[in-house]
Copies of this chain bind each other. A is one copy, B any other.
Amino acid sequence: MLQHTENPEALSPTLATIKTACSNCNLRELCLPFGLSEEEMQRLDKLVNVRKRVKFGENLYRAGQPFESIYAIRSGFFKTDMLLEDGRIQVTGFQMAGELLGLDGIGAERHICNAVALEDGEVCYIPFSRLEKLSREIQTLQHHFHRVMSREIVRDHGVMMLLGAMSAEERLATFLLNLSQRFTARGFSQTEFNLRMTRAEIGSYLGLKLETVSRYFSRFQEEGLLLVQQKNIRILNTDALKALVSRQGYSRSL
């Protein structure tokens, strides 16, 4: 009941062969077409011509598979994760509409992580060699693509900060604020949303165990910061959450 409350037309008719058009996409300001002229966007349209539905639980790609294209999320919610030989898993990110998946595969021409749908959704295929070709021709596209990759690096550094320098409480507060901000940017409520991932997945991403995640959810609720009902989250006191993250007077440490 809670999975599909926020779909921006995710339930449109049927098959995977829907003709995509960046120029009509309501995500174009968030996604790859950002900043392109009408004519340039139509050239991008020709490149991004396959859209594919991905169902809850499906892998969009798996580590080790040959890399051929990157994916723009049109709707839905994804996670990426990596495995260690001994079975340990690290969730490396959660992705939502307008974000790109698959950038990790360019370096080795092989996907490095797994991408799994956490709810039904749709992605646009962007064949990478054709994207490179087009971005040799359209400077704006080239530059924007570089910015997207760079921002991914910056995001990862933020996660390193999270994992390396923050307490469990701070990590969870940061995580919630980040989700809130990204939902807001997509026109959803700033204060209420559904988590698509389990406590264990949140924990893995934040370097914590699921029990710890659960405990801090409960504590935030006791303190009146949140209202938690399973996967439904309502933020009651954003400022207090923010204050948790960069608490003053904390002993500065290297």
Which of A's residues lie within 8 Å of B, judged by CB?
A: 82, 84-90, 92, 103-108, 112-113, 132, 135-137, 139, 142-143, 146-154, 156-157, 159-161, 163-165, 200-201, 203-207, 209-210, 246-248, 250, 252-254
Contact = CB atoms under 8 A, between A and B. Distances in A.
Contact of A150 (B104, B137, B164, B209): B104
Contact of A156 (B146, B157, B204, B247): B157
Contact of A106 (B108, B150, B156, B248): B150
A254 B200 contact: yes
Contact of A207 (B103, B105, B165): B165
A244 to B, nearest CB: 12
A160 B157 contact: no
Nearest to A152: B153
| Count of identical protomers in the assembly | 2
A85 B157 CA distance: 16
Contacts of A89: 165, 253-254
Contacts of A132: 139, 142-143, 146
A164 B204 CA distance: 7
A254 B88 CA distance: 6
B164 A207 contact: yes
A252 B84 CA distance: 10
Instruction: Name the residue in A106, A112, A136 with the highest tally of chain B Cβ atoms < 10 Å from its Cβ.
Output: A106
